[in-house]
Amino acid sequence: QQQVKQSPQSLIVQKGGIPIINCAYENTAFDYFPWYQQFPGKGPALLIAIRPDVSEKKEGRFTISFNKSAKQFSLHIMDSQPGDSATYFCPYNQGGKLIFGQGTELSVKP
Amino acid sequence: DTEVTQTPKHLVMGMTNKKSLKCEQHMGHRAMYWYKQKAKKPPELMFVYSYEKLSINESVPSRFSPECPNSSLLNLHLHALQPEDSALYLCASSQPGTGKSPLHFGNGTRLTVT
């Protein structure tokens, strides 16, 4: 059973746009929500993480916002750049295992 | 450059060959992982080692045999693979335990089975 559903599967924006990637979760017991970024030919890398008692966290141009009532958290990328083109994942922890969902492939056009 | 080093970067092997993938980290992490990633798909967990002991095996076929000789090294021994095993094999490390320690991934070994 998939416990986190990510959308959209793919996203194309123009440079300077604000892509938004959403993750809806099933399990209210999750207490840590990491986002990973993966460039082609590279391994995933932690981008930003949030705890559910924090409604928003910003690191540079990347912001996670958390809506507990909607059971959803979202990644916003401000002033997106072609170098942000990558696949973004919101994996969840299940019994010591980090489980990756399908991810969102983001393409930022110049 | 990542702090998790995987070798080789690329590997081509026949179905009757035996080969090994290697992973090394010097961050003092005591949990190490193998993931498999097919093109346009998410990483899939294969094995987890915690304090050098195998703690999770995600029902991986026995033609894949992991080994953790010490806290810095992780190997994946390959034997009698099938063409469908062709994929990017990713190694990762973290502090064990709470699930809040981020995973540090290497850049993987691109494996092709002919």
Q: What is the pLDDT of residue B68?
A: 97
Asked if pLDDT for residue B12 goes beyond 80, the answer is yes
Chain A residue with minimal CA distance to B10? A41
Q: How confident is the model at residue A93 (pLDDT cuts 50, 70, 90)?
A: confident
Q: How confident is the model at residue A67 (pLDDT cuts 50, 70, 90)?
A: confident
According to DSSP H, which parts of chain B are helical? none
pLDDT single digits (tens) A6-48: 999 999 999 999 999 999 988 756 778 899 999 999 999 999 9
pLDDT single digits (tens) B50-106: 999 999 999 999 999 999 999 999 999 999 999 999 999 999 999 987 677 899 999
How is residue B66 written in tokens? Answer: 């992991």
In this structure, the strands spanning A72-77 and A20-25 are antiparallel
Asked if pLDDT for residue A4 goes beyond 90, the answer is no
Q: What is the pLDDT of residue A1?
A: 59
Task: Calculate how close chain A gets to B16, using CA atoms only, in Å.
Answer: 27
Question: Chain A residues with CB inside 8 Å of B104's CB?
Answer: 45-46
Residue A88 in contact with residue A47, Cβ under 8 Å? yes
Q: What is the pLDDT of residue B2?
A: 67
Asked if pLDDT for residue A66 goes beyond 90, the answer is no
Chain B residue with minimal CA distance to A96? B99
Asked if pLDDT for residue B1 goes beyond 60, the answer is no
Q: Which residue has the tokens 């809506």?
A: A67
Count residue pairs from A and B with Cβ separation < 8 A.
53
**Portion of chain B with pLDDT greater than 90, in percent:** 92
Task: Calculate how close chain B gets to A51, using CA atoms only, in Å.
Answer: 10
What average pLDDT does range A47-64 have in this prediction?
91
Q: What gap in Å lies between CA B77 and CA B80, rounded to an integer?
A: 10
Strands (E), chain A: 4-7, 10-14, 20-25, 33-38, 45-50, 56-59, 62-67, 72-77, 86-89, 92-94, 97-99, 104-109
Q: What gap in Å lies between CA B66 and CA B62, rounded to an integer?
A: 10
B99/A93 Cβ within 8 A:
yes
**HSE value, Cβ hemisphere, 13 Å, CA-based, for A16:** 1
A99/B45 Cβ within 8 A:
yes
Nearest Cβ partner for A97 among B45, B100, B102: B45
Q: What gap in Å lies between CA B99 and CA A92, rounded to an integer?
A: 9
List the single range of A24-33, A71-80, A92-101 with lowest mean pLDDT.
A24-33
B44/A100 Cβ within 8 A:
yes
